[in-house]
Amino acid sequence: MKKESTWGECIEGSLSIKVSIDKAKAESLIDTAEGRSAYLKESEIKKSNASYVFEGYYSSTLELLHALVILEGYKVNNHICLGYYLRDVLKREDLFRTFDDCRYKRNSLVYYGRKMDFATAKDSINKCLKLIKEIDLLLSKDLS
């Protein structure tokens, strides 16, 4: 199985497909992401929960990214292709690098059972919060 390395390869491999723009679905994803983020903000970040808080913010980031691509008429079937959308379509290498770092750390937690030390988890939470802010700005342009 060939691993994609560009948005074009995600399209060619049918991991990203053209769909009808679905504003209602995008708004629902945004609402879910905002609700989760609001809940997480109520939690004090401690050594015992930092990894879980990070996973929550990463999920919110994903929902916002899916909303963004849906508003552009795409359905994306994996996280790495969402990153390539940021890099190759939106020309936001900065967001891609941050997202890819968070994606890698989340995969280490979820798929490999690797623990995050507290400082890394806090840093990753802050990266997700910055991504959320930037994606919100992109979404506000698409929804206006």
The CATH code of the domain that includes 132 is 1.20.120
Total domains present in the chain: 1
Domain span including residue 30: 7-143
pTM of the model: 0.93
Task: Please give the chain's pLDDT, 144 residues, in tens.
Answer: 567 799 999 999 999 999 999 999 999 999 999 999 999 999 899 999 999 999 999 999 999 999 999 999 999 999 999 999 999 999 999 999 999 999 999 988 888 778 889 999 999 999 999 999 999 999 998 776
d(CA 133, CA 144): 17
Amino acid at residue number 82: L
Q: Which residue has the tokens 């979820």?
A: 110
Q: Is residue 119, in this structure, part of any structural domain at all?
A: yes
pLDDT of residue 2: 63
- Helix, strand, or coil here: 19? coil
Q: Is residue 36, in this structure, part of any structural domain at all?
A: yes
